[in-house]
Structure 1
Amino acid sequence: MPFYAIDGIVPVVHPSAYVHPTAVLIGDVIVGPNCYVGPGASLRGDFGRLVLEEGANIQDNCTMHGFPGTDTVIEVDGHVGHGAVLHGCRVGRGALVGMNSVVMDGAVVGERAMVAACAFVKAGQEVPARSLAAGIPAKILRELTEQEIAWKEAGTRDYQNLTLRSARSMVEVRPLTEMEDGRPRYSGGEAKPKKAGG
């Protein structure tokens, strides 16, 4: 698993977190309890400090980085979608940053706020708590509904469960040459064999 120290600073990963073997953690990176770091994620703590607080996730092909002396933080239950870039910013408690979004230096995504997919949150911008931001540059569109917040919280719980599933069962294998009969399908909880005709 690619963990690298730089200038004697070693990444920290809580034993209950899951970091995929293809993710890269360099230097001043702190991954808290029950966090998930996806395949191909790059967390470069070679200048600023990078922090994932409890229950946060940063998904595949995401990048975290920051300028010297800065902290880039994903707070408790923060959720960062595939391919997003976080640079010197703060993602608030229970907030979501959508796929392929960019959140720049000094920006703050407020508690339980959402940044839509492919948005650009410019340096120093604040996304208020429980708000939706979208566009290039991102604009505050409206307050989130209770249903949207519940949807996000359910998705974060799925990733917290994925942390447990990955730690328990993910192993490197050789692929099969053809699909087997009764191939299992994940349907929440454990993978289950597909029922005939189902």
Structure 2
Amino acid sequence: MPLYSFEGRSPQVHPDAFVAPTATLIGDVVVEAGASIWYGAVLRADFGQILVREGANVQDGSVIHGGEPTIIGPGASVAHGCVVHGAQVGAGSLIGNGATVQDGARIGSRTLVGAGSLVPPGAEIPDEVVALGSPAKVRGPLTESTAFWVTNNGEEYQRLARRHAAGIELVG
């Protein structure tokens, strides 16, 4: 896995975290225990620290960047192909595939931001809701179906990360 120091600040990865070999971490990135950073993800902390809290995951092809603080909360999921730029994602939240969360935005705990949504700069999305659209707007509380995904996605990715850590091998 490529880890790069930038201006004297180096990524810190807990030994119990999984960082895919094709993920790239640059500068002041902290990845806590049980967290996972997946294939092709880029975390570039040159404007401020990026903190990926315990059990959180940043999935394939996502980009995390921006000013301080940029926090992916405990057990939160940033799904495939997302951009989180200078924002905070609350504990246990799920940012759907291809969503963008911009500077200064704050996503509450156990919140679902729908796939392809755009959370504009400075927006505040409360706890335990579904936010959709461009710009993302609260559409209501979590339903049984959305609560299932919010509740289970982080734990499922922790299990999957352990499988990848134990079972991937470079071929050829």
- Answer yes or no: is 1:76 the counterpart of 2:35: no
Residue 184 of structure 1: aligned partner: none
Residue 190 of structure 1: aligned partner: none
Q: Deviations over 1:109-153 (max 9, x none)?
A: 100011000000001101110011110111111111244223322
**3-state SS in 2 of match to 1:50:** strand
Q: What is the identity percentage for the equivalent residue pairs of Structure 1 and Structure 2?
A: 43
Q: Deviations over 1:165-191 (max 9, x none)?
A: 1111111114xxxxxxxxxxxxxxxxx
Question: Which of these two proteins has the greater Rg computed from alpha carbons?
Answer: 1
Q: How many residues align?
A: 172
Residue 31 of structure 1: aligned partner: 31
CA contact (8 A) 2:18 2:37 kept: yes
Q: Deviations over 1:29-72 (max 9, x none)?
A: 000000110111010011111000000000000000113xx111
In structure 2, C-alpha distance between the alignment counterparts of 1:42 and 1:151, rounded to whole Å: 24
Equivalent runs, 1:93-132 vs 2, <5 Å: 93-132=91-130
Residue 45 of structure 2: aligned partner: 45
CA contact (8 A) 2:112 2:146 kept: no
Structure 1: state its 5+ residue gaps. 175-198
Counterpart amino acid of 2:85? H
In structure 1, C-alpha distance between the alignment counterparts of 2:3 and 2:43, rounded to whole Å: 10
In structure 1, C-alpha distance between the alignment counterparts of 2:71 and 2:115, rounded to whole Å: 19
In structure 2, C-alpha distance between the alignment counterparts of 1:45 and 1:151, rounded to whole Å: 29
Q: TM-score, normalised by structure 2?
A: 0.97
Q: Which has the higher contact order (CA 8 A, sep 6+)?
A: 2
Q: TM-score, normalised by structure 1?
A: 0.84
In structure 2, C-alpha distance between the alignment counterparts of 1:140 and 1:101, rounded to whole Å: 15
Counterpart amino acid of 2:54? E
Larger deviation, residues 162-171 vs 121-130: 162-171
In structure 2, C-alpha distance between the alignment counterparts of 1:75 and 1:129, rounded to whole Å: 13
In structure 2, C-alpha distance between the alignment counterparts of 1:153 and 1:16, rounded to whole Å: 22
CA positional deviation for 1:160: 0.3
- RMSD over aligned CA atoms reads 1.0
